[in-house]
Chain A
Amino acid sequence: MAIQALTTTVRRRGRALAGTGGRTAALFLVPFFAVFAIAMIAPVIYSLVLSFHSQQKSGLGFGEAKTVFVGLENYVQVFQSETFMEGIGRLGLYCLIYIPCMVGGAVVFALLLDASVAKARKLFQLLVFLPHAVPGVIAALIWAYLYTPGISPLVQALQGGGIQINFLDAHLVLPSIVNIGVWEWTGYNVIILFTALQAVPREILEAARVDGAGEIRAAVSIKFPLILPALSVIMLFTIIGTLQLFTEPNIISKATASVTSTWVPNLWAYDAAFIRHNLNQAAAASIIIAGLAAILSLAVTRLSSRMNKA
């Protein structure tokens, strides 16, 4: 209907309105879709093709390798790889610890910041946002040093208190890496949630106060439900972000042997491409990671739209 209305006005006004048609839209859209095609669509298609092929050397292994169509064999191999599945399990565990800690922390901090008795809100916002200005590599480096005995004030202080702890041993390295993620992302999400809280109509809170609801009661039963939409967006991006886990374990792996070269799926794919030189398996692994992200984010969107309706 809108298009119909548009065409009639176009006819009526002639040249002046030609601008809203497809050709002008194309002019605005072509730059984006050009880079989108180069940076996303083409690589994904090429990886799909690669993932269905394999390099096979003929006879005794001399001479040129031949590219052979192998169907789903690469995918089967990736799923059968013990190290890949361990990586998936580790990533799942990481999510289970990281998401409640980070999102929960962000909600609590944002609610505290929004409490009427909070002071120096601007300063706190700036301080809490500080880690977002620190690149992931540098954050991982700082924490790697803070975990290293001999250089770390943290380890030293704990030793002073009689606690011997090695943050980088096989059991603790996962929570230690979770902590890096929490440090990097909590403040960013605090700002988003705090902004959403600021949009809560003050009249509602006023009414609650008149009705005798205390600060905590208002936070739990009025403010929190009203920031649920913002929260579901945060959940979505947190899950997508978590699947990307690469930088932190990559940096930490240089500081400890507890983090192997195939520790999470992304590291596994990197290892397949550059250490094992099996590009076809690397492509299959990348497609699996992207597919996993698609399924999970679809699930979160479905869930949150159902929650928002209810």
Chain B
Amino acid sequence: MSTSTVSRPHSSAAAKQNPSRNGGRTNRGASKRAGGFASKLTVNGLLIIGSAYMVVPVLWLVFASTKNAADLYGTSAYALGNFSLFENIANVANQDGGLFFRWLGNSVMYAGVGAVLGSLISVMAGYAFDKFQFRWKDSLFGFVLVGVLIPNTATVLPMYLLASVVGMTNTVWAILIPVLCNPFGVYLARVYSASYVPAETLEAARMDGAGPIRSFFSLGLPMMMPGYITIALFQFVGVWNNFMLPLVMLQDQQLLPVSVGISIWQGYSVPQPEFTPMVITGSLLSILPLLVAFIMLQRFWKSGLTAGSVK
């Protein structure tokens, strides 16, 4: 490997120094450049088309949220019409005494707890699976993998049935406890622990007299931070997007996350079209926090994915 990294710059430098030697190659290079232009056009053109497919629906949401009900049905989709964005936001905010912001707050709370606490629980377990030796390790990890493979929605109804026996439906706990469980996070954390935390470091800490808990919180966890943030970010998105669990568990409108709340408004908008601009503007407002989080944390989720897949 080291030879190739050395030889590559060397050979290109040699080519630059005496181009006469590569006389035969220059022709081929020129034709490649002509073909290169066509392929550059094709590749980037296709990339633009693909990205447009991804972006245009979101752009439509942005434009649509600036329109009132009449313009929504009356004007062309990407024309501005009467600019009613602020009016729409005011309508969203005033509906049922600010219920929408209550929903947003609930989503932030559910997803935040799931991300911060749920990921810590996963990271601790993954770290233990990687760094400790104990009995039944393989069979316990097998349970984790089975947990990864069972679809979430297949356990939602069973969870509801169980929660109604113990009287926990329609409480925040019906959401907060399930979101702490992230078997895939454990699996990822084990990979991160193996690649980020050298056993020697822990051994050294142990020699210095640090207990296993202390060395986890002062060495292991900081070293796994990029992995922790990645797991937390994906967990946050997962909980924020979760629809079936809160739909099934919660009846009290004050407890709903924004995903279920908006879908209730959508239900209203079928008989009452004046709700439509509120559904659209509310949708836009509800994705803004995630968009901001993704753009700001871009480096983390990308580096996290890289580390995960290289392993």
Contacts of A125 in B (CB 8 A): 302
Residue from the list B54, B127, B287 in contact with A127, Cβ < 8 A: B54
Q: Let me know if B58 is at the binding interface, CB within 8 A.
A: yes
1/0 contact string of A167-195 vs chain B (CB within 8 Å)? 00000000000000001001100011001
Contacts of B244 in A (CB 8 A): 246-247, 266, 270
Q: Let me know if B36 is at the binding interface, CB within 8 A.
A: yes
Bound-complex Cα distance A36 to B185 (A): 12
Contact between B158 and A283, CB atoms less than 8 A apart: yes
Q: Let me know if A40 is at the binding interface, CB within 8 A.
A: yes
Contacts of B76 in A (CB 8 A): 153, 156
Bound-complex Cα distance A43 to B245 (A): 13
Q: Let me know if A112 is at the binding interface, CB within 8 A.
A: yes
* Interface size, chain A (Cβ < 8 Å): 105
In the complex, identify which listed stretch (B16-24, B80-88, B148-156) lies at the interface while the others stay far away: B148-156
Bound-complex Cα distance A33 to B180 (A): 11
Bound-complex Cα distance A279 to B73 (A): 43
Contacts of A136 in B (CB 8 A): 241, 243, 259
Give 13 A-B pairs besides A129-B294, A203-B1 with Cβ atoms closer than 8 angstroms.
A2-B133, A20-B131, A21-B133, A36-B143, A38-B177, A43-B162, A117-B36, A130-B291, A133-B291, A135-B240, A153-B78, A236-B149, A246-B244
In residues 38-63 of chain B, which contact A (Cβ within 8 Å)?
A: 39-40, 43-44, 46-47, 50-51, 53-55, 57-58, 60-61
Contact between B302 and A191, CB atoms less than 8 A apart: yes
Bound-complex Cα distance A132 to B60 (A): 17
Bound-complex Cα distance A145 to B181 (A): 34
Q: Let me know if A3 is at the binding interface, CB within 8 A.
A: yes
Residues in chain B within 8 A of chain A (CB atoms): 1, 4, 8, 36, 39-40, 43-44, 46-47, 50-51, 53-55, 57-58, 60-61, 64, 72-73, 76-78, 118, 121-122, 124-125, 127-129, 131-135, 137, 140, 143-144, 146-147, 149-162, 165, 177-178, 180-181, 183, 186, 206-207, 209, 211-213, 215-216, 237, 240-241, 243-244, 247-248, 259-260, 262-263, 266-267, 270, 276, 279-280, 283, 286-287, 290-291, 293-295, 298, 302, 305-306, 309-310
In residues 247-298 of chain A, which contact B (Cβ within 8 Å)?
A: 247, 250-251, 254-255, 266, 269-270, 273-274, 279, 282-283, 285-286, 289-290, 293-294, 297-298
Contact between B77 and A153, CB atoms less than 8 A apart: yes
- Give me the 6 closest cross-chain CB pairs, A-B, nearest first: A153-B77, A19-B212, A43-B158, A28-B128, A32-B125, A47-B158
Contact between B149 and A293, CB atoms less than 8 A apart: yes
Contact between B309 and A240, CB atoms less than 8 A apart: no
Contacts of A236 in B (CB 8 A): 149
Chain A proximity of B125: nearest CB distance (Å) = 4
Contact between B57 and A146, CB atoms less than 8 A apart: yes
Contacts of B1 in A (CB 8 A): 203
Q: Which residue of chain B lies nearest to A128 when distances are taken between CB atoms in the complex?
A: B54
Task: Give the dominant DSSP class at A's interface.
Answer: helix
Q: Let me know if A109 is at the binding interface, CB within 8 A.
A: yes
**Given A36-B147, A137-B243, A273-B266 contact (CB < 8 Å):** no
Contacts of B60 in A (CB 8 A): 142, 145-146, 153
Contact between A35 and B283, CB atoms less than 8 A apart: no
Bound-complex Cα distance A199 to B309 (A): 8
Bound-complex Cα distance A1 to B54 (A): 53
Contacts of B44 in A (CB 8 A): 117-119
Q: Let me know if A70 is at the binding interface, CB within 8 A.
A: no
**Given A22-B134, A39-B155, A133-B237 contact (CB < 8 Å):** yes
Bound-complex Cα distance A266 to B298 (A): 34
Residues in chain A within 8 A of chain B (CB atoms): 2-3, 6, 16-17, 19-22, 24-29, 31-33, 35-36, 38-40, 42-44, 46-47, 50, 105, 108-109, 112-113, 115, 117-119, 124-139, 141-146, 150-153, 156, 183, 186-187, 191-192, 195-196, 198-199, 203, 206, 215, 230, 236, 240-241, 243-244, 246-247, 250-251, 254-255, 266, 269-270, 273-274, 279, 282-283, 285-286, 289-290, 293-294, 297-298
Contact between A247 and B243, CB atoms less than 8 A apart: yes
Chain B proximity of A238: nearest CB distance (Å) = 12
Bound-complex Cα distance A26 to B212 (A): 12
Contact between B54 and A215, CB atoms less than 8 A apart: no
Bound-complex Cα distance A117 to B291 (A): 29
Q: Which residue of chain B lies nearest to A282 when distances are taken between CB atoms in the complex?
A: B157
Contact between A115 and B310, CB atoms less than 8 A apart: no
Q: Which residue of chain B lies nearest to A288 when distances are taken between CB atoms in the complex?
A: B154
Contact between A46 and B161, CB atoms less than 8 A apart: yes
Contacts of B262 in A (CB 8 A): 137-138, 141
Bound-complex Cα distance A139 to B58 (A): 9
Bound-complex Cα distance A222 to B44 (A): 21
Q: Which residue of chain A lies nearest to B124 when distances are taken between CB atoms in the complex?
A: A28
Contacts of A32 in B (CB 8 A): 121-122, 124-125, 181, 186
Chain A proximity of B292: nearest CB distance (Å) = 9
Contact between B54 and A183, CB atoms less than 8 A apart: yes
Residue from the list A17, A28, A126 in contact with B127, Cβ < 8 A: A28
